[in-house]
Amino acid sequence: MRRFPLVLVGMGVIAVAQGPSSPPSPISPDLIKFITPADNPGSAAKARLGDDLFDDKRLSADNTVACNTCHEPRGGFTARLETAKGIRDQSGKRNSPTIINAAFMQSQFWDGRAATLEDQAKLPILNPIEMGMKSPEEVVAKLRAIPEYVTKFNDVFGRPPNYDDMARAIAAFERTVVSTTAPIDRFLRGETNALTDAQRRGWTVFNGKGRCNSCHAFNPTFPFFTDNKFHNIGVAAHKQDFTSLAIRAERAGSSQEEIDRLALESDLSELGRFLVTKNRSDIGAFKTPGLREIAITSPYMHDGSEATLWDVMDHYNKGGEPNPFLDGGIQRLGLNEDEINDLVELMAAFTSDRFAQLGGMEMQRQRTFMRGPRQTRDNDAALGRKGHFGDAVPTHDKKDPAAIGGRPIAQSQ
Ligand code: HEC
Ligand code: HEC
């Protein structure tokens, strides 16, 4: 492995390049076995082939774009751009998520339009604004003309390159790109001092007043801070009119490739999960992203519209952008400045040791940046002082919910 410590999976071995005294990985070997498909077991040679393919610009129409152009390993496997740029500098509509821990997601893409990593890998190569190849046959012909690939595919799969095996190798590589231990893991194992005071207070807000854990769910067997579900948290709505978009989408195509193009190239992108399911309750809903390594993957959200973690906090604090499809879990939070800062500091503790240095630099950059104008901030909405779509009736007092709209429970009995 050239630049990334390899975790060998699917072979019952977890060989993370950590020192002998390093704590165990936060991710259990059983979980890795569980998520590896039976028809694509991992091996070191397969993952290496997948890594070569992931880095190879020859998989694009004009030999300028590889998977790693938009998922740059040293930058946390993201592009660090609001929305990704493919061949001929064409910009798509969505932010490139990290592929770290993507293996553990129940579906791929912000709208879940691909079921598996194998499925996912076949799409960007053929998307006209990403890698722009015309057909799987064209890709296979290109691979078969490169002698190293013929040899490597033969070694790994026992046959010449084909499109499915290419996707299998890339997926096998991606299953090795997983988080190592972060301060939050040490804290949860009982090392209280692994988190600062601010981070510990942030953890309380995360699981309490902030209600973050209702979607960014964490548990020791699935430590990724995601419920793997789709929610409209009011990021998409502010730009367009959902109803007219939804009517257009109902007439649009529904094959996986057509949805891929609509999601990346058209205004219908903002409909999110609705493009895939056509259920009204999925309008503007996007997949809950995991939060491990979140400090190093700015800008945030499906459209890259939020530059820093402070902007994300401002967004949640005011209860998102009001819209008729807003998730019930999103309400104004009324967090004060300290609680916002503590939550952001907490998220810095989700950065694994491998990316600690980059994480530190990025937090420093975000701290400087957030002292400028806070674009998503709306204190009046956050504190319930403003007629907000969700505030048609008084928002209940969190300390004594029964005091508004009825008699306290004790008196009514
Ligand atoms: C032009 C930039 C670009 C290129 C090239 C690219 N991607 Fe992506 N990738 C994206 C964007 C943007 C998304 C999110 C799109 C969406 O959700 O609609 C994405 C999503 C993904 C996801 C889903 C992650 C998740 O959490 O849902 C995976 C996995 C992935 N890409 C792997 C790859 C692989 C493998 C390749 C090469 C075969 C590749 N990408 C090429 C931009 C790119
Ligand atoms: C109702 C479910 C829900 C709740 C509650 C929630 N989130 Fe999210 N979170 C999401 C979804 C869905 C997205 C992606 C939305 C999008 O891009 O449109 C997201 C995105 C994020 C992102 C950006 C991730 C990225 O990779 O771009 C961060 C950071 C985040 N949430 C942190 C938090 C914190 C901290 C809280 C608590 C204050 C919280 N979330 C509460 C569902 C939720």
Closest ligand 2 atom to the C-alpha of 329?
1
CA 409/CA 181 separation, integer angstroms: 45
Which residue has the least CA distance to atom 39 on ligand 1?
Answer: 67
Pull the structure tokens for residue 275: 């493009």
Q: What is the pLDDT of residues 30-71, one digit of tens each?
A: 999 999 999 999 999 999 999 999 999 999 999 999 999 999
Q: Which ligand is nearest to the CA of 275?
A: 1
Mean pLDDT of 150-158: 98
Q: What is the pLDDT of residues 65-124, one digit of tens each?
A: 999 999 999 999 999 888 888 998 898 889 999 999 999 999 999 999 999 999 999 999
Confidence of residue 3 (pLDDT cuts 50, 70, 90): very low
Q: Which pLDDT does position 20 carry in this prediction?
A: 41
Which residue has the least CA distance to atom 11 on ligand 2?
Answer: 288
- Is the minimum distance from the CB of 163 to ligand 1 under 6 angstroms? no
- Is the minimum distance from the CB of 216 to ligand 2 under 6 angstroms? yes
In the chain, the percentage of residues whose pLDDT exceeds 70 is 86
Mean pLDDT of 400-410: 51
CA 95/CA 280 separation, integer angstroms: 24
- pTM, whole model, 2 decimals? 0.90
Closest ligand 1 atom to the C-alpha of 264?
18
Confidence of residue 377 (pLDDT cuts 50, 70, 90): confident
Which residue has the least CA distance to atom 35 on ligand 1?
Answer: 121
Which residue has the least CA distance to atom 21 on ligand 1?
Answer: 109
Q: Which of 212, 245, 226 is nearest to 315 (CA)?
A: 212
Confidence of residue 410 (pLDDT cuts 50, 70, 90): low
In degrees and rounded to multiples of 5, residue 219 shows phi and psi of: -145, 155
Q: What is the mean pLDDT of the chain?
A: 87
Q: Which pLDDT does position 388 carry in this prediction?
A: 53
Q: Which ligand is nearest to the CA of 305?
A: 2
CA 152/CA 159 separation, integer angstroms: 9
Q: How far is the CA of 263 from the centre of ligand 2 (A)?
A: 20
Q: How far is the CA of 60 from the centre of ligand 2 (A)?
A: 32
In degrees and rounded to multiples of 5, residue 183 shows phi and psi of: -50, -35
- Is the minimum distance from the CB of 167 to ligand 1 under 6 angstroms? no
Which residue has the least CA distance to atom 10 on ligand 1?
Answer: 96
| Residue 328 burial (CB count, 10 A) | 8
Q: Which domains does the chain have, with CATH numbers?
A: 29-174 (1.10.760.10), 183-236+284-385 (1.10.760.10)
Residue of 216, 218, 325, 339 with the most ligand 2 atoms within 8 Å of its CB, for mutation:
216
Q: How far is the CA of 289 from the centre of ligand 2 (A)?
A: 7
Closest ligand 1 atom to the C-alpha of 65?
5
| Residue 187 burial (CB count, 10 A) | 18
Q: How far is the CA of 113 from the centre of ligand 2 (A)?
A: 19
Q: Which ligand is nearest to the CA of 109?
A: 1
Q: Which pLDDT does position 19 carry in this prediction?
A: 39
Q: How far is the CA of 304 from the centre of ligand 2 (A)?
A: 13
Q: What is the pLDDT of residues 350-373, one digit of tens each?
A: 999 999 999 999 999 999 888 877
Decide if pLDDT at 1 tops 50. Answer: no
Q: What is the pLDDT of residues 222-247, one digit of tens each?
A: 999 999 999 999 997 666 688 888 88
Decide if pLDDT at 25 tops 70. Answer: yes
Q: How far is the CA of 123 from the centre of ligand 2 (A)?
A: 26
- Is the minimum distance from the CB of 330 to ligand 2 under 6 angstroms? yes
Contact 355, 293 (CB under 8 A): yes
Place of tokens 């193009």: 261
Confidence of residue 375 (pLDDT cuts 50, 70, 90): confident
Q: How far is the CA of 330 from the centre of ligand 2 (A)?
A: 10
Which residue has the least CA distance to atom 40 on ligand 1?
Answer: 67
- Is the minimum distance from the CB of 203 to ligand 1 under 6 angstroms? no
Q: Which ligand is nearest to the CA of 312?
A: 2
- Is the minimum distance from the CB of 139 to ligand 1 under 6 angstroms? no
Q: How far is the CA of 150 from the centre of ligand 1 (A)?
A: 25
CA 23/CA 34 separation, integer angstroms: 22
CA 180/CA 251 separation, integer angstroms: 45
Mean pLDDT of 130-142: 97
